[in-house]
Amino acid sequence: MLTGKEKRYLRGLASLLNPVVIIGKEGIGEQIIAEIANGINVNELVKIKVGKNSPEEISEIVKILEDNELGEVVQIIGRNVVLYKKNKKEPKINLP
């Protein structure tokens, strides 16, 4: 569980990120989940954009991401979701 200070720090880092995936009219499937998992393993912090033509709502997508234990939701702003999961072997982000 992240503290408010940690989330604020991660939001600042996420503002500079480009989305790892864009969820479009196909919705969220196994391939999208695998791509997000790969991005989390490599970068620890990922941004996901949900397109306007996505069949799922953002709340449904967040629930799917949490059910698959891909990471902790740092921020939902507009149609963007930011996820964080610490890499236990080689952490890249040092939280305050």
Q: What pLDDT shows up at residue 90?
A: 87
Q: Which residue range forms the structural domain that includes residue 25? A: 4-84
With respect to residue 92, please indicate whether it lies within any of the assigned structural domains. Answer: no
Give dist(CA 62, CA 64) in Å, integer: 5
70-93: per-residue pLDDT in tens?
999 999 999 999 999 998 888 899
Query: Model-level pTM?
Result: 0.90
With respect to residue 96, please indicate whether it lies within any of the assigned structural domains. Answer: no
Q: What pLDDT shows up at residue 13?
A: 95
How many domains are there within the chain?
Answer: 1
At which residue do the structure tokens 């989330």 appear? 7
With respect to residue 89, please indicate whether it lies within any of the assigned structural domains. Answer: no
With respect to residue 10, please indicate whether it lies within any of the assigned structural domains. Answer: yes
With respect to residue 55, please indicate whether it lies within any of the assigned structural domains. Answer: yes
Q: What pLDDT shows up at residue 53?
A: 94
With respect to residue 91, please indicate whether it lies within any of the assigned structural domains. Answer: no
> 41: domain CATH number?
3.30.110.60
28: left (phi over 0), alpha (psi -120 to 50) or beta: beta
| pLDDT by 10s per residue, the chain, length 96 | 899 999 999 999 999 999 999 999 999 999 999 999 999 999 999 999 999 999 999 999 999 999 999 999 999 999 999 999 998 888 899 998
Q: What pLDDT shows up at residue 8?
A: 96
